């Protein structure tokens, strides 16, 4: 069975949930081989084994880590040449998509980004499903050229546990001069909020213009549910919440089990970032707000009344 390469998404060895999703998808196409770049392999190995990585290619050359996407693309291109994988799967993060882009040109392989499903193609290759035009269309695509390269959106693939060996194979790839031309000269880690990552969270609570700048009730409600906190572009542009939390076309695209929009009207820019959520709830004063067209449950009302009451009720139910 042909190998399927999965680029591991991790922070110093702590493997992100997207990687388990990619390994699960990889097992549908062939034999999953993880590609681990950076420090912290010992921490990562167990998580990779748990989700089906038969092999782990390990690259800890600091030159790969200190530079932007180009060196990782060279590492993957080297592996593609070596093992002719049935597919290469990467996370749909900005880095993942850019590595995929360079890899596609280097290896002359078809590329699909932001897939929400990945299956074997009928006549070989890979068949993907994407959600496009702000989630208003579903597109099915087959990739047959080269070693199909697919970036997969977080929260799209239900994770299956499949214990495997995760046998390590250390890899040294000589990098070109060009690969190290863009250098990361400074990195400031963001302070941990204690809340789940926006793209991975099962529940997301977002606030918009209707918060008037006070995200207190939104955050308290999110914490009662163990949710991540998002914000609309209007709230971010007003300086009320960090851009990193912006849900929408120019921010983060999320697809959680439950999305709650508080004081957000639901402009196309916002819908593009959340329309594929499984269950959608909205609280808004304006009964005509377009967000209500999307909801499973909506409350026409003041979020400053509704959210604190709901927070209290949830805490009471949890005891």
Binders of another protein in range 263-302 (CB under 8 A)? 268-269, 272, 279-281, 283, 287, 292-302
Segment interacting with another protein (CB under 8 A) among 23-31, 43-51, 81-89, 142-150: 142-150
Interface residue with another protein among 26, 80, 104, 264 (CB under 8 A) is 104
H-run or E-run covering 112:
strand 111-120
Buried b (16+ CB within 10 A) or exposed e, 204-229: bbbbbbbbeeebebbbbbbebbebbb
Q: Which two tokens stand for residue 201?
A: 């969270």
User: What whole-number distance in Å separates Cα of residue 227 and Cα of residue 205?
Assistant: 6
Contact status: 40 vs another protein (CB under 8 A): no
Least separation in angstroms between residue 112's CB and another protein is 6
Q: Of 164-183, which residues contact another protein (CB under 8 A)?
A: 178, 181-183
Contact status: 223 vs another protein (CB under 8 A): no
User: What whole-number distance in Å separates Cα of residue 181 and Cα of residue 231?
Assistant: 35
Do 59 and 179 contact (CB within 8 A), yes or no? Answer: no
Segment interacting with another protein (CB under 8 A) among 42-50, 54-62, 166-174, 250-258: 250-258
Contact status: 214 vs another protein (CB under 8 A): no
H-run or E-run covering 137:
strand 137-143
Which CB atom, from 140 or from 170, has the smaller least distance to another protein? 140
Which CB atom, from 149 or from 166, has the smaller least distance to another protein? 149
Q: Shortest CA distance to 52 belongs to which of 28, 82, 75?
A: 28
Which CB atom, from 18 or from 45, has the smaller least distance to another protein? 18
């Amino acid at each position: 069975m042909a190998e399927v390469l999965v680029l591991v998404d991790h922070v110093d060895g702590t493997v992100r949930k997207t990687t388990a999703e990619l390994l699960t998808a990889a097992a549908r196409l062939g034999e999953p081989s993880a590609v681990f770049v950076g420090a912290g392999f010992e921490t990562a190995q167990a998580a990779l084994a748990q989700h089906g990585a038969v092999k782990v290619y390990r690259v800890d050359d600091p030159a790969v880590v200190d530079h932007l996407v180009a060196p990782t693309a060279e590492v993957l291109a080297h592996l593609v040449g070596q093992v002719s994988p049935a597919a290469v799967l990467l996370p749909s993060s900005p880095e993942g998509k850019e590595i995929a882009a360079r890899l596609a040109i280097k290896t002359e392989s078809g590329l699909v980004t932001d897939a929400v499903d990945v299956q074997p193609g009928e006549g070989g290759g890979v068949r993907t499903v994407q959600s496009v035009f702000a989630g208003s269309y579903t597109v099915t695509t087959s990739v047959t050229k080269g070693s199909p390269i697919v970036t997969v959106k977080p929260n799209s693939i239900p994770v299956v546990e499949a214990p495997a060996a995760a046998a390590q194979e250390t890899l040294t790839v000589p990098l070109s001069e060009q690969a190290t031309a863009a250098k990361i000269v400074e990195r400031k880690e963001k302070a941990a909020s204690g809340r789940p990552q926006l793209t991975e969270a099962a529940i997301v609570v977002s606030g918009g213009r209707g918060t008037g700048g006070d995200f207190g009730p939104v955050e308290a409600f999110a914490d009662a549910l163990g949710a991540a906190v998002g914000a609309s572009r209007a709230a971010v542009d007003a300086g009320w919440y960090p851009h990193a939390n912006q849900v929408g076309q120019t921010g983060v695209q999320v697809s959680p089990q439950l999305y709650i929009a508080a004081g957000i009207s639901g402009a196309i820019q916002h819908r593009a970032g959340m329309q594929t959520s499984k269950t959608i709830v909205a609280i808004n004063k304006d009964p005509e707000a377009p967000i209500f067209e999307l909801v499973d449950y909506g409350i026409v009302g003041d979020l400053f009344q509704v959210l604190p009451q709901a927070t209290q009720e949830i805490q009471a139910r949890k005891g």
